[in-house]
Amino acid sequence: MKTSMTHLFVTVLLVAAHTAFAETNMLQDLCVADLKGAKVNGYACKDPSQITPEDFYYIGLAAPADTSNTAMGSAITAGNVEKIPGLNMMGTSMSRIDYAPGGLNPPHLHPRASEAIFVLEGRLFVGFLTTTGKLISKHINKGDVFVFPRALLHFQQNPNNAPASVIAAFDSQNPGTQSVGPSLFGANPPIPDDLLAKAFGVEPQVIQKVKGKFPAKK
């Protein structure tokens, strides 16, 4: 009896695991996002009769973005499910990042995706940090590819006197981005000054000064 119950328990677990895995796959040809509908861990499917070619098309990555009015000298143009509804349930998206001379895409992470960048123009210094604190970095040139593992802090810097740009690919339709500076110093409600001061080994007055550079998120 005990053996039979054990077999039954294992069988139920295997069936549950198989079902959970199967339900992560598409059960139809496509599921164009209904951007105006309810959102529960993603978008519901648009009425198939309302689907158009424009749901799968986006011209936004074709031209460089203006970097002149950005604090870091970089501009990101997203090509995710919110811009291309046809990406819904496909587990992929793209972005274009443009860098002014000396521009920086500061340390950040993508909680839901790994990232691969392809250099369109220019030369960049890029890298990521492992959870043990090891820096993996390299100077990359036009035509090169570099990969950032999921959820690890990474950055790109243009240390040159000419503009640079990349196309980034993600294994998520909506990878998400969390930047270190704005997240820590622009949180809403704010993280207490004494907590951050102790964490960084500085005086609270220093934290207050840094917070002044990052307006609180709304």
Provide the annotated binding site for Mn(2+). Answer: 108, 110, 115, 154
Q: Are 72 and 97 contacting, i.e. CB atoms less than 8 angstroms apart?
A: no
Angle at 158 between CA 157 and CA 162, to 5 degrees: 170
Binding residues: 105, 108, 110, 115, 154
Q: Are 167 and 118 contacting, i.e. CB atoms less than 8 angstroms apart?
A: yes
Binding residues for oxalate: 105, 110, 115
By C-alpha distance, which of 131, 103, 126, 101 is closest to 115? 126
Angle at 48 between CA 47 and CA 54, to 5 degrees: 100
The C-alpha atoms of residue 137 and residue 13 are separated, in whole angstroms, by: 42
The C-alpha atoms of residue 183 and residue 145 are separated, in whole angstroms, by: 28
